[in-house]
A and B are shown apart, each in its own frame.
Chain A
Amino acid sequence: MTTIVTDNCKDCRYTDCVAVCPVECFHYDDQMLYIDPEVCIDCSACLPECPVEAIYEEDDLPEDKFEWIEINAEKSKELPVITDTMDPLPGADERKAALGF
C-alpha cells in the first residue's frame, strides 16, 4: 500500500499537500510533485488537500494510472524533497479549471 501523485498535478503543483504531510515525503521537479513510498506513512492526510484530486491511495488507483506507482518511486529518489509550500505554477488555475475543478 502506498499513496501516489498522478498526472493531474502536472503544471498545477499547488503544494497544499505538503503543508499537512507529517513526514516530508514529497519531492518536486518543475512540473509536479512525487511521493517517496518508503517515507510516506499512508496517513492520507494529503488526499483531501489536493485541489485537482491528483493523489490516490494505491487501492483506489484507476487502472489507467498504474504507471504512476513506478514514476513516483523513481522520481522521488532523484529529486529534491519539498519541505514547505510553494506558489502554484503559472497557469495552475487555468489548468485546474480545464480539469473540471
Chain B
Amino acid sequence: MSRLGTPDNPLYVAVVGSGPSGFYAVDALIKAGVEFRVNMFERLPVPYGLVRSGVAPDHPKLKQAIKVYARLAEAEQFNYIGNVTVGADISVDELRATHHAVILTCGAETDRRLGIPGEDLPGSYTATEFVGWYNGHPDYRDREFDLSHETAVIIGQGNVAADVSRILAKTVDELKHTDIAGHALDVLAESKIRNIYVIGRRGPAQAKFTSKELKEFGVLADCDPVIDADELALNPASEAELENTGNKKIYDLFCGLAGQEPAGRRRCIFTFLKSPREIIGEGRVERLLIEKNTLSGEPFRQSARGSGETFTLDTGIVFRSIGYHGIPMSGVPFDESRGVFSNEQGRVIQDGAVEHGLYTAGWIKRGPTGIIGTNKADSVETVRLLMEDLDSLDTGENRNGVAGCYEILDRRNIRHINFADWKKIDAAEINRGEPAGKPREKYTYVNEMLALLDRA
C-alpha cells in the first residue's frame, strides 16, 4: 500500500472540539501538505467554542477570528459533525478505530474551585456559568442569576473576571447592539447591582488584566472604576516587577484611576491582597469573609499569604473566576492535578507510554493559559508531532473516516449535523438579530436549533 498521507492512502483525522485549537489543527494539517480528510466533532450543533460562547459580546472584533475558521471549513478535506458528544454518542476508541489519528481539542470546560465553606450556596456562581449564560450557551440557558442585591463580588483578576465585571457594569444601552443573548439582556436590565468588587489575591503589580481591558473601565457610561490609593503601595519586590513593561502599564493605569471621584450610578471597586475565606448566609449568599494577604518571595515569584486579619463584606452574589479546569473523557488518560489530558507536547501518554494516534491541543493539552492566538502555535506543535509519527500510525483496513463514523452514529440514532446545517442556523441568527440592531440573536436551546433545520 502507498504511504499514508498520499492520494491513494489519505490520512484520516478526527478533531474533537470546534474551538480555535481544533480549527488551527485543521489549518496546520492543510499546511503540512499531506493528503488527508478531517472530521471535526462538536457536541453542540453550533461551532467555534469559546469564540462564540466565551469571548464577551462587547468585543466583536475578537470574534472576527471566526472568519478564518469559516474559511477553513470550506476546505474540501473538512467535514463537520455537530451535535455529537464524543465520549457519550461515540467513543474515543471508536474514533481511533475509524481514523488514523485523533486530536482532542475540547478545552477546559469547568472552573477551578475556591475550596472554601459556603462555595455552593445559592448566589455563589462560577464565571463560566455566567459567561455561558450571557453568551447563549445551551448548557447555561436556564441558569438564574439573582441580581437584586446592591453588591456583587468577583473573585479573580484575569480577563474573565474583567469580562464578568464589565458586563455587570454596563448599561442596557451599552449592550443592546451586541450579540449578547436576549434572555441575559432582559435580566441585566433589571439589575440592582451598584457595587462590583473585583478581588485579587495578590497586588496591583501582579493583576493579570491587560491594559486594553483595564482601559475599558475608564469609559463606561454609568460606572466608575474605584481604587483606594493606599492599596497601590508596593513592597520592594513588586517595585522590581514594574521593570516588566506589561506590569508597569497596568500599574500606571490603576494609579490613574485612583482618587477619581465617582459620578456614575455604579462603581467597580478593584481591591488587592485579599482572599475569600468563607461565603456566609442562611440558605443563600449574604456576606463574604475575607482575609487580607501579604506578599513574600522573589520578584515575579511572589506568593500571597494570609495575614490573619479578616473582615466581612455584605453581598448577594459571588462569582469565582480563578481559572478553568478540564474535565476527563472516557478512554483518555487524565492528569487530575493539572486538569488536562496526560500528554507530552501534544502526544497523549498513558503511564509514560505514547498512546499511538492520540493527540491533544489547546487548553486541554497545556492548561487554560493564553489567548486565541496562543492556541495556534500550540496546534501547530501537535500537528508537527503527528507528521513525525506518520509512518508509525496504524493503517488497519477499516479506517474509513467519515463513513465509519456515520455508520456508528446512524446505528445509534444519533442526530448529527453538517456545516451546511450550521450555515442555515448562522443565517437565521443573523436574520433575527436585525430588527433589534444586533449582529445576531443566538439560538440558545439545542432543540430550537434542530427544529429550525427541520423547517428549512
**Chain A 58-85, CB within 8 Å of chain B: the 1/0 string?**
0110000000000000000000000110
The reply on A86 being an interface residue by CB < 8 A is no
The reply on A8 being an interface residue by CB < 8 A is no
Asked, given contacts A41-B62, A43-B62, whether A22 binds B373 with beta carbons under 8 Å apart, the answer is yes
By the criterion CB–CB under 8 Å, are A41 and B61 in contact? yes
Asked, given contacts A23-B64, A41-B64, whether A46 binds B212 with beta carbons under 8 Å apart, the answer is no
The reply on A94 being an interface residue by CB < 8 A is no
A58 CB to nearest B CB, Å: 11
Chain B: interface secondary structure? helix
B141 CB to nearest A CB, Å: 27
B119 CB to nearest A CB, Å: 32
By the criterion CB–CB under 8 Å, are A20 and B62 in contact? no
Asked, given contacts A22-B68, A41-B61, whether A60 binds B374 with beta carbons under 8 Å apart, the answer is no
The residue in chain B whose Cβ has the minimal distance to the Cβ of A83 is B31
Cα A20 to Cα B371 in complex, Å, equals 9
The reply on B233 being an interface residue by CB < 8 A is no
Which residues on B sit within 8 Å (CB–CB) of A83? 31
By the criterion CB–CB under 8 Å, are A43 and B372 in contact? yes
A93 CB to nearest B CB, Å: 22
Chain A: interface secondary structure? loop
The reply on B392 being an interface residue by CB < 8 A is no
Residue from A19, A43, A57 in contact with B371 in the complex, judged by beta carbons closer than 8 Å: A43
The reply on A29 being an interface residue by CB < 8 A is no
Residue from B210, B212, B249, B372 in contact with A22 in the complex, judged by beta carbons closer than 8 Å: B372
The reply on B264 being an interface residue by CB < 8 A is no
A34 CB to nearest B CB, Å: 17
By the criterion CB–CB under 8 Å, are A41 and B376 in contact? no
By the criterion CB–CB under 8 Å, are A84 and B31 in contact? yes
Cα A42 to Cα B373 in complex, Å, equals 11
By the criterion CB–CB under 8 Å, are A23 and B65 in contact? yes
By the criterion CB–CB under 8 Å, are B246 and A23 in contact? no
Asked, given contacts A43-B371, A57-B212, A84-B31, whether A21 binds B376 with beta carbons under 8 Å apart, the answer is yes
By the criterion CB–CB under 8 Å, are B373 and A21 in contact? yes
By the criterion CB–CB under 8 Å, are A20 and B377 in contact? yes
A99 CB to nearest B CB, Å: 15
B301 CB to nearest A CB, Å: 19
Asked, given contacts A46-B373, A83-B31, A84-B31, whether A41 binds B65 with beta carbons under 8 Å apart, the answer is yes
B243 CB to nearest A CB, Å: 14
Q: A43-B62, A44-B212, A84-B31 are in contact. List 7 more A-B contacts (CB 8 A).
A: A22-B24, A23-B65, A45-B370, A53-B245, A59-B212, A59-B215, A83-B31
Going nearest first, the 3 A-B pairs with the smallest beta carbon separation are A45-B373, A20-B373, A22-B373
- Could you jot down 10 A-B contacts, CB within 8 Å? A22-B20, A22-B24, A22-B68, A23-B68, A24-B68, A41-B64, A45-B370, A57-B211, A59-B215, A60-B211
Task: Give the B-binding residues of A (Cβ under 8 A).
Answer: 19-24, 41-46, 48, 53, 57, 59-60, 83-84
